[in-house]
């Protein structure tokens, strides 16, 4: 009985430690759903000009691990956060649209009172950057970067013939509904172009790590985010009045460069487009030297 009592006490202590650790993790509250707050987990490191890194689907803020040390070495304050539904953030069943995502970003910026920011988005994160600047302006923002961009408008319509057919996204949603883990397999194979880069620029272990992060995301968010990819950013882009960097792989299978990155220079005044020859979608992992060189140049540090 004494052993049983000790085990119960030990389990209670461990649970208490885990709870206290969770409470000490940094969060910003961005809303609520029924009786629970909606909170975004963030990390804030270094000092100097703030750089906010916004991750892609279906990963989290830790996916910037090949960029964060470079930004810190450049003397920057680096902030990453997990989008609602992903990573350590809350997993609500509401708010999966770019107006809300941009408002979430604004809440983080306002809470931390960030100014003279460099906003850097990858994949889905480029939508936050674009909608934030289109909605809230550049009062707190000095520069911005879109890596593997989703703007300007991904859906094929009569006035957007360069876009992708609706049926493609319908197929994605059907696959996710049937078996989201099979969807992740398909997605990451094309995220990394594993048929080209497996064993060279990406390892099986890195692929598995991404899969594990995705598997821990909200099943609701996994599906709901697909519809957000069809957001029309064409009215937001001309409002960007800060220097903008666009970097994309020429072999991007997730967001084809002809439908995305190559169209942005025609919609933004001060923009530089850098194409990474043969690069897949996740150039932040497979081509970090090229990406980091472009980012450090944008930051004014080489």
How far is CA 21 from each of CA 13, 55, 76, 79, rounded to the nearest angstrom? Answer: 12, 24, 27, 20
Catalytic residues: 123, 252, 281
80 has which bridge partners? 43, 53
- Give the separation between CA 40 and CA 202, rounded to whole angstroms: 29
> Is-contact 240 138, C-beta < 8 A?
yes
How far is CA 136 from each of CA 141, 172, 236, rounded to the nearest angstrom? Answer: 10, 32, 10
- Give the separation between CA 26 and CA 44, rounded to whole angstroms: 9
Give the number of other Cβ atoms within 10 Å of residue 16's Cβ: 10
H or E stretch covering 32: strand 27-33
- Give the separation between CA 297 and CA 109, rounded to whole angstroms: 23
- Alpha-helical runs (H) found in the chain: 2-24, 68-73, 98-112, 124-136, 166-178, 180-191, 194-197, 204-215, 219-228, 283-286, 288-299
The upper half-sphere exposure of residue 262, i.e. CA atoms within 13 Å in the direction of its Cβ, equals 13
């Amino acid at each position: 009985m004494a052993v049983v009592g000790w085990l119960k006490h030990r389990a209670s202590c461990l649970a208490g430690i885990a709870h206290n650790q969770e409470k000490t993790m940094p969060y910003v509250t961005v809303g609520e759903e029924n009786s629970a707050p909606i909170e975004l987990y963030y990390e804030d490191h270094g000092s100097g000009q703030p750089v906010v890194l916004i991750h892609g689907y279906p990963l989290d803020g830790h996916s910037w691990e090949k960029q964060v040390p470079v930004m810190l070495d450049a003397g920057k304050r680096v902030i990453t956060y997990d989008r609602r539904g992903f990573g350590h953030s809350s997993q609500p069943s509401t708010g999966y649209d770019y107006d809300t995502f941009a408002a979430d970003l604004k809440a983080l910026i306002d809470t931390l009172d960030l100014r003279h920011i460099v906003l850097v988005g990858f994949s889905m994160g480029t939508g936050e950057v674009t909608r934030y600047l289109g909605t809230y302006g550049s009062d707190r923002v000095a520069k911005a970067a879109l890596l593997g961009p989703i703007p300007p408008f991904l859906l094929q319509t009569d006035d957007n013939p360069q876009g992708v057919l609706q049926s493609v996204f319908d197929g994605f949603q059907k696959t996710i509904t049937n078996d989201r883990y099979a969807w992740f397999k398909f997605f990451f194979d094309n995220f990394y172009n594993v048929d080209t880069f497996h064993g060279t620029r990406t390892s099986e272990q890195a692929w598995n790590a991404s899969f594990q992060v995705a598997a821990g995301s909200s099943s609701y968010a996994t599906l709901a985010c697909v519809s957000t990819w069809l957001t029309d950013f064409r009215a937001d882009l001309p409002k960007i009045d800060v220097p903008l960097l666009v970097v994309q792989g020429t072999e991007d299978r997730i967001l084809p460069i002809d439908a995305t990155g190559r169209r942005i220079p025609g919609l933004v005044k001060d923009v530089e487009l850098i194409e990474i020859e043969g690069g897949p979608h996740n150039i932040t992992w497979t081509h970090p030297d090229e990406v980091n060189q472009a980012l450090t140049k944008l930051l004014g540090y080489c």
